[in-house]
Amino acid sequence: MTVRKVLKYGTPSLREKSKEVHKISKKIQALIEDLYDTMYATNGVGLAAPQIGENLRVFVIDVGTDPKTMCPITFINPKIIKKEGAIVSNEGCISFPEAYTEVRRYKSVKVKALNEKGKPFVLEVTDGSLLARAIQHEYDHLDGILFIDHCRNRFEADKILTEKGLPPVDAKYLLEEKELEEEIQKNPQPKEEEK
């Protein structure tokens, strides 16, 4: 159980695709514990193994807001098997300290994965909930995709990154996501503050 150093945006390994886990070994169990310890220490709701320098397809999420509602979920070798709808999400990332910007996400996702004991499970999350968005965010990390690759306004994102002393958006990684953007335009949502 260790709080690990979180790699910052600009570290080349954050852009690498992660490897499948073939055995839930003691090393993997220790990695999962380190992910939770590091996530809680940095007040995150999710953390992927590549963010602490481990190139493995593992991430953890806990969207509980206090110790009484804690709900830790471990995802090993996850696969998103269904995606529907579109929403705007104001996101940040532990690898991007204090930088937040608007991104496009699917409203609902269905994911299958293994838990920390190696048991398979399927989880469907709908309505653009924090859990649905966190699953997509952490899943992206396993493929070397970062939340800013989904940004709706590159120039706004660049401004925020510059203010936080981080490198600008790398245009070669930007995702077009025309269908998501069209759906967002058709069904405008209230801003977070208006809800």
Cα dihedral 11/17/22/27 (nearest 10): 10
Q: Which of 33, 138, 177, 182 is catalytic?
A: 138
Is 156 catalytic? The answer is: no
- Asked whether the CA dihedral 32, 33, 36, 42 is positive or negative, the reply is negative
Residue 91: which of 37, 175, 150 has the closest Cα?
150
Residue 53, Cβ neighbours under 10 Å: how many?
13
Residues with Cβ within 8 Å of 28's Cβ and at least 6 positions away in sequence, in order, are 21, 56, 58, 76
What type of residue sits at position 7? L
Q: Which residues are catalytic?
A: 138
